[in-house]
Amino acid sequence: MTKATGAAANTAANPVDMADLELPLLRGIHGPADLRKLAIDELPLLAKEIRNAICHQVSKTGGHLAPNLGVVELSIALHYVFDFATDRLLFDVGHQCYPHKLLTGRLDMLGKLRTSSGMSGFPEPNESPYDLFSVGHAGTAISTAVGMARADQLTGETHRRAVALIGDASIVNGLAMEGLNNAGTLQRQFLVVLNDNGMSIAKPQGALAQYFDRVRVNAVYDDLKKRAHEVLQRIPGGSALEEVYHRMGEVAKAALSHNHMFEQFGLLCLGPIDGHDIPTLIDMLNEIKDIDRPVLLHVKTVKGKGFAFTEGDATTFHSPKPFTVEGCRVELKKTGRSFTTAYADAMVDLMQRDEKIFAVTAAMPDGTGLSKVLPLFPQRSLDTGICESHAMAMCAGLAKVGFKPFFAVYSTFSQRALDQIFQEVSLQGLAVRVCMDRAGFVGGDGAVHHGFMDIAMFRQFPQAALLAACDEPTLRAGLEFMRQYDEGASFIRYPRDNVAEKPLQADCPPFVLGKANLMIPARGSKPDVAILAYGMPVYAAASAVDQLAVQGYDVALYDARFAKPVDGELIRQLIEAGTPILTVEDHFVTGGFGAAVLEHCADHRLDTRNIWRLGMAEKWIRQDGRAKQLAEAGFDAAGIARKVREIIETGTHQPAADVDAVRSDSR
């Protein structure tokens, strides 16, 4: 439970119930053209309606709340000045897009937020031509905007303006810096809007974050105009920009920054200005929208703006579960004990027992559970900010000196550090431990966040150990194995889900490298089918086994535990006994656990004709509840049971090389 306190509680209202929710202005906006019909003095009321609509819906379904509340006025001003039916708007950290979606005519989709039939929580081109990219990772907008700007120059469509909106501290991401470096060479209009809310997903980390703190506190406006000429001379091409300066209006001249670090990238830097002052934003954007040089507009906003509880605790309400509001008290819906919470408790235990463990996360202390670890072990834990590549390379340095780094990261973000796992970790033979939350289907965040490729990426590295947890006991046992594994990198995956209240096994045996664990034995001497499930699908498979037993089928279930190395001895025994094998995984079938089983068989000349696979098909599954995604993919309990019956009733062998059949299996 969260209680709003302090100034925020006194200055911000609570959201109203839908029964009292009036949206006269917002309901009349079917696109940005309708927005531009409103008078400027009507826009603050529109901003209030947008906040009420977003907050009401997120309270029912969950979703990204605080980051969207912070960009309402900025989104209104951008759409009021630019015409993004023609101009280009590129989002960085796409979870700031809800106001943009409402301003582009998608209010009717908000009621089914984060479902396959409603609004995605991230930009989605299938929804609207106003969304140019499906995007949910940080640091990409400036580079993609530069690409579109260059393409428009080549095709002669220079009337198309380019705007990149970046925020939530993603400007510290290395890719964003690379984009800025290239943006500074453009000889055309190009606008980067830096939404500086003093926050990342959590408190921003690093020297650059401290720099922005100083800029916000120490910005002095009185002498900006008299220093403007000096600034222009110091920027590459500054003499040519003198003419630009004379064309600028008074608002832009007054906001010209004389000490902004991004001057060095060749950008004309303006601000910081108030990102909640709609008239000033509109005046500024009108004055700079046609400057034929790259410009960075530094906008200061408040993450969670508009409600006491979101302003007072923007981290908790970054992407909350459903919640209720009663006066100044807010209660988040309780949904059980998550794998994330279980991981946090396990890490505390490990770090108490082993002083060599160093815990790392990349801007996701709450999402990975390390928010519990950081205050307890401040000398042996670190949030690096949004920089997975740096975090992984740093872990390599820690390992080189004899520490045991555990890097907690979402599966979808682990791929951003693939090169460092190759060069700095595996090539050096270092033991870095990578703990991947949100593996497999992630529910409402959809395809941009599905953890579908970590097995395929990481099992290629020599001496790597790939593990999966299916419940809290196996998570703890897997982490203990990793603590002691020094032969190379190790990886454990677990889902965005709750751990089982009652584990399948009362006593969890320790992890032994490359050994599966029998969870449900066959009733007879030989099972009709043996299921090898990797990770959380163990529990769906167990339910399927129970269903099948009622129907007279005898099925054995193994927790595979390892995708590298696989349990070759078990596989050989099952094949020689003529027992069909069904592999099940929450990962693409291409390169996944089932593929590892087939490759082992091929390498050891074992018959693969009786091996079947279930996993994610090679298609994108949209946002929705995780249970619905598993059902759509065909490896929920019903899908697994259906597949087992098919294997038994057909009694035929499926050639492992039959790609079309494999794809059919995985749907």
Domain annotation covers residue 321: no
Residue 602 and residue 563 share a domain: yes
- Hey, CA dihedral for 480, 486, 488, 489, is it positive or negative? positive
pLDDT for position 598: 98
pLDDT for position 116: 87
The reply to whether 416 belongs to the active site is: yes
Domain annotation covers residue 507: no
- CA angle (427 as vertex; 423, 433 as ends), nearest 5: 85
Domain annotation covers residue 213: yes
Q: What amino acid occupies position 441?
A: F
Residue 200 and residue 236 share a domain: yes
Last residue of a domain, one of 277, 312, 347: 312
Q: How confident is the model at residue 221 (pLDDT cuts 50, 70, 90)?
A: very low
Mean pLDDT, all residues of the chain: 87
Residue 530 and residue 648 share a domain: yes
Q: Is-contact 6 312, C-beta < 8 A?
A: yes
Domain annotation covers residue 498: no
Q: Measured between alpha carbons, how far is 64 from 133 in angstroms, rounded to an integer?
A: 18
Domain range enclosing 176: 2-312
Last residue of a domain, one of 459, 493, 527: 493
CATH of the domain at 548: 3.40.50.920
Residue 353 and residue 416 share a domain: yes
Block residue for tokens 């992630």: 442
Helices assigned H by DSSP within 62-96: 66-69, 72-81
Q: Measured between alpha carbons, how far is 338 from 493 in angstroms, rounded to an integer?
A: 14
Phi, psi of 119 (to 5 degrees): -85, 130
Residue 639 and residue 525 share a domain: yes
Encoding tokens for residue 483?
């603590």
Q: Within 13 Å and on the Cβ side, how many CA atoms surround 605?
A: 0
Identified catalytic residue from 101, 380, 416, 613: 416
The pLDDT tens digits of the residues spanning 239-284 come to 555 566 666 777 777 777 666 778 888 899 998 899 999 999 999 9
The pLDDT tens digits of the residues spanning 330-343 come to 888 778 899 999 99
Residue 655 and residue 614 share a domain: yes
Last residue of a domain, one of 493, 509, 542: 493
With a cut of 60, say whether residue 238 has pLDDT above it: no
Residue 169 and residue 95 share a domain: yes
Domain annotation covers residue 660: yes
Identified catalytic residue from 49, 263, 388, 632: 388
Q: What is the DSSP string of 642-664?
A: HHHHHHHHH-----TT-HHHHHH
With a cut of 90, say whether residue 295 has pLDDT above it: yes
CATH of the domain at 349: 3.40.50.970
pLDDT for position 214: 52
Residue 586 and residue 641 share a domain: yes
Q: Measured between alpha carbons, how far is 384 from 362 in angstroms, rounded to an integer?
A: 5
Q: Is-contact 637 540, C-beta < 8 A?
A: yes
pLDDT for position 174: 84
Residue 470 and residue 534 share a domain: no
Share of residues in the chain with pLDDT > 70 (%): 86
For range 118-131, the mean pLDDT: 93
Q: What amino acid occupies position 444?
A: G
Q: Measured between alpha carbons, how far is 521 from 492 in angstroms, rounded to an integer?
A: 25
Residue 263 and residue 204 share a domain: yes
Name the maximum alpha-carbon separation found in the chain: 90
pLDDT for position 258: 61
With a cut of 70, say whether residue 127 has pLDDT above it: yes
Stated pTM of the model? 0.83
For range 204-211, the mean pLDDT: 54
The reply to whether 37 belongs to the active site is: no
Domain annotation covers residue 324: no
pLDDT for position 225: 42
Residue 528 and residue 484 share a domain: no
Q: Measured between alpha carbons, how far is 247 from 291 in angstroms, rounded to an integer?
A: 9
Identified catalytic residue from 51, 303, 305, 483: 303
With a cut of 80, say whether residue 609 has pLDDT above it: yes
- Hey, CA dihedral for 547, 553, 559, 565, is it positive or negative? negative
Exposure string over 332-369, b if 16+ CB within 10 A, otherwise e: beeeeebbbebbbbbbbebbeeeeebbbbbbbbbbbbb
- Hey, CA dihedral for 23, 25, 28, 33, is it positive or negative? negative
The reply to whether 404 belongs to the active site is: no
Q: How confident is the model at residue 444 (pLDDT cuts 50, 70, 90)?
A: confident
Total structural domains in the chain?
A: 3
Q: Measured between alpha carbons, how far is 416 from 422 in angstroms, rounded to an integer?
A: 12
With a cut of 60, say whether residue 604 has pLDDT above it: yes
Q: Is-contact 651 610, C-beta < 8 A?
A: no
Q: Measured between alpha carbons, how far is 366 from 344 in angstroms, rounded to an integer?
A: 10
Share of residues in the chain with pLDDT > 90 (%): 71
Residue 272 and residue 356 share a domain: no
Domain annotation covers residue 291: yes
With a cut of 60, say whether residue 222 has pLDDT above it: no
Domain annotation covers residue 322: no
